[in-house]
Amino acid sequence: MQKATLTILGCGSALPTKNNFPSAQILEIRDKQFLIDCGEGTQIRMRQMGAKTNRLGHIFISHLHGDHCFGLIGLISSFGMLNRTADLHIHAQPDLERIMKVQLDYFCESLSFQVIFHHFNPKKHELIFEDRSISVYSIPLKHRVPSCGFLFEEKPRDRHILREMIDFYNIPTWRILKIKQGEDFETADGEIIPNDQLTVVGELPKRFAYCSDTAYSEKIIPIIEGVDCLYHEATFMETEKKRAKETFHSTARQAGEIALKAKVKKLIIGHYSARYIHQDELLDETKSVFKNTLLGEDLTTYEI
């Protein structure tokens, strides 16, 4: 079984703290890595975790506040020093390319790989990337500046071939992949065995949604409905609800409400204001609404 995992490199908010770097996380799915946001110190966290990043091809930036993108130039620069050759794709709002171009031209003049920017419109919910096994959709959020979450959706996985059928029909190894992908099997006698006698449905495709930074917004619910895992910001406690509203952030309780209403399977909270030393308070508040909540923590890997 292929696991899908989320590794949180940083789940602090604007001001870093002793334990929390600014936003950055790696989604590993179908043997690929996707970096979501890239706050200052992202490459440092990667090195602290001994993370291998050779399968990291795409970076998604939710919005253009520094705590979500100041780590890009250092990461790219270090990839250059490590002689990376694979293209690096950055999905972001158009302004980022313009800002980064000045830095890339100066600091990363003779990079060993291409940095390719892909622009998306943060106000639209649409497919912004897909390959053979994954689709990524934008999720318009509600923030002081245009901000956008991301829905990662696996495409259907192969069917499971039944071991006893392989033995019964003497199915040769070289046919197995095609049968998993839905083909029927023709025996030596010319008998056609329909695929649904040989296979059962494989694992259900996983869905993961990243929603940060955002004020409480029910508009996202139809998009993230039923996801296996939702990462939702929980910058403040309910006691700071007014401040949350003013700054277009969510409270821990609101994160739980969104998870509940969207019937997600699991919620991970993060993007904590630096004022909270004991983040368990935030977790308790969310759990009072939505039980299957985990506290996001830096340098931690979660199963999706």
Check residue 187 and give left, alpha or beta (phi > 0: left; psi -120 to 50: alpha). Answer: beta
Closer by beta carbon to a second copy, 79 or else 129: 79
Give the type of residue at 154. Answer: E
Question: Does residue 15 interact with a second copy by CB under 8 A?
Answer: yes
- How far apart are the C-alpha atoms of 128 and 37, rounded to whole Å? 15
Contact letters for a second copy, residues 104-143 (x by CB under 8 A) = --xx------------------------------------
Distances (CA, A) of 246 to 135, 144, 281: 34, 9, 22
Question: Does residue 277 interact with a second copy by CB under 8 A?
Answer: no
Q: Given the structure tokens 């996801």, which residue do they identify?
A: 227
Closer by beta carbon to a second copy, 15 or else 177: 15
Q: Which stretch binds a second copy (CB under 8 A): 11-19, 27-35, 158-166, 212-220?
A: 11-19
Q: Which stretch binds a second copy (CB under 8 A): 59-67, 84-92, 158-166, 180-188?
A: 59-67
37 is catalytic: no
Q: Which residues contact 265 (CB under 8 A, 6 or more apart)?
A: 226, 227, 228, 229, 292
Closer by beta carbon to a second copy, 133 or else 300: 300
Distances (CA, A) of 239 to 196, 247, 250, 282: 56, 14, 12, 11
The correct pick among 65, 143, 159, 253 for binding a second copy (CB under 8 A) is: 65
Closer by beta carbon to a second copy, 78 or else 195: 78
Closer by beta carbon to a second copy, 99 or else 165: 99
Question: Does residue 64 interact with a second copy by CB under 8 A?
Answer: yes
Minimum Å gap between C-beta 17 and a second copy is 6
Crossing angle, helix 280-287 and helix 252-261, to 10 degrees? 30
Q: Which of residues 69-98 bind a second copy (CB under 8 A)?
A: 70-71, 73-74, 77-78, 81-82, 95, 98
Q: Which residues are catalytic?
A: 67
Enumerate binding residues for a second copy (CB under 8 A). 14-18, 21, 40-41, 43-44, 47-48, 64-66, 70-71, 73-74, 77-78, 81-82, 95, 98-99, 102-103, 106-107
